[in-house]
Amino acid sequence: MKPQPEDETSFWTKKKQFAVTEILMYVLMILAIAAGIIFLS
């Protein structure tokens, strides 16, 4: 079996992009909740 670096790099970049979008979504959710608490209080 011959290793395929192109496939591996694309796989890891996809994984990294997915992780970054997940983290951004979590940060946005936390910011929205914090803003809601500040506005309500």
- State pLDDT tens for residues 1-41: 555 556 667 877 888 888 999 999 999 999 999 999 999 98
**What is the value of pTM for the model shown?**
0.58
- Encoding tokens for residue 3? 């290793």
CA angle 24, 29, 32 (to 5 degrees): 125
